[in-house]
Amino acid sequence: MVHGRVLVIAGSDSSGGARSRANGNNSGLEADQKVIAAHGCYAMTATTALTAQDTTGVHDIHHVPQEFLVKQIDACVSDIGVDVVKTGTVVEALKRHKIPKVVVDPVMIATSGAELLPREAVAELLEGLLRLTTVLTPNVPEAKLILEDSGYKSIEVNGVKDLEELAKSVQALGPEWVLVKGGHAPFKADLTVAETEEEKSVVVDVLYGHGGFCTFRARIRVPRIRTARAVRWLVSDISSPGAEDVDI
């Protein structure tokens, strides 16, 4: 039984997410399709870019023409129908079809540090998409870039409180909810920022919306469990959040 129709608007990862999985994340259309199918939903895709990447990094990016991207979206919506969109941009198409729930993974900066989104696309994200967004899921560098490009001072992450302030500041720009993924700012066991690879012990994600926080802590070796727990909490309790910590 299919529980929902999900359209993923994102780039394709030629490695199937190999580098991202090695660093504790999932990335690309391929990873999204697996997660959506595992939750009993039907996945459709609109490809924004093709990437040449492997476990060592992103070697090249080919961006799909905007006109063709819009045709992919129109085809899925007009024939199969869409209940939820997970996307990185395409403001006008979302406005036209009035999708009720939009999850945006901005995909601006790769784990390697490479910029994946052109600066003009960042401007489009800030100008139109954030206010259409139900849940925004940036990593720490992406959240900081969104603040900087909006004219606000960046926030240095030296502890969990800084992650919370980062999520709160980005949420003020328009999204209903912001889930800041802390994989780029791992902590030591005492929840201070790790300075070396050996010190990295805990990853913290912070969800903020409607005035409430929820933090998700996990040992750095179990990122999939951490992410799955955060998603389940979001789905089940998004209408009545409470400030709490979830340890895994």
User: Token pair for residue 81?
Assistant: 């129908």
- pLDDT for 123 beyond 80: no
Burial class (CB in 10 A: 0-12, 13-18, 19+), 212: middle
Which amino acid is present at 42?
Answer: Y
Mean pLDDT of the chain: 76
User: Token pair for residue 203?
Assistant: 């990853």
How far is the C-alpha of 25 from the C-alpha of 46, rounded, in Å?
Answer: 21
Taking CA atoms, 213 is separated from 88, 203, 238, 240, 246, in Å, by 24, 16, 11, 11, 11
Whole-number pLDDT of residue 87: 63
Whole-number pLDDT of residue 223: 43
Q: Which helix (H) or strand (E) holds 33?
A: helix 28-38
Rounded to 5°, angle at Cα 206 from 116 and 187: 85
DSSP code at position 153: -
Residue 121 sits at φ, ψ, to 5 deg, of -75, -30
- pLDDT for 41 beyond 80: yes
84-111 pLDDT, tens per residue? 877 644 666 677 778 888 888 876 766 6
44-88 pLDDT, tens per residue? 999 988 888 887 888 888 989 988 988 998 899 889 988 887 764
Is 178 or 91 the better-scoring residue by pLDDT? 178
The pLDDT confidence band at residue 196, using thresholds 50, 70 and 90, is confident
Domains of the chain: 5-133 (3.40.1190.20)
228 three-class SS? helix
DSSP code at position 194: P
50 three-class SS? strand
Which amino acid is present at 236?
Answer: S
Inter-residue contact 185 to 157 (CB < 8 Å)? yes
How far is the C-alpha of 97 from the C-alpha of 240, rounded, in Å?
Answer: 28
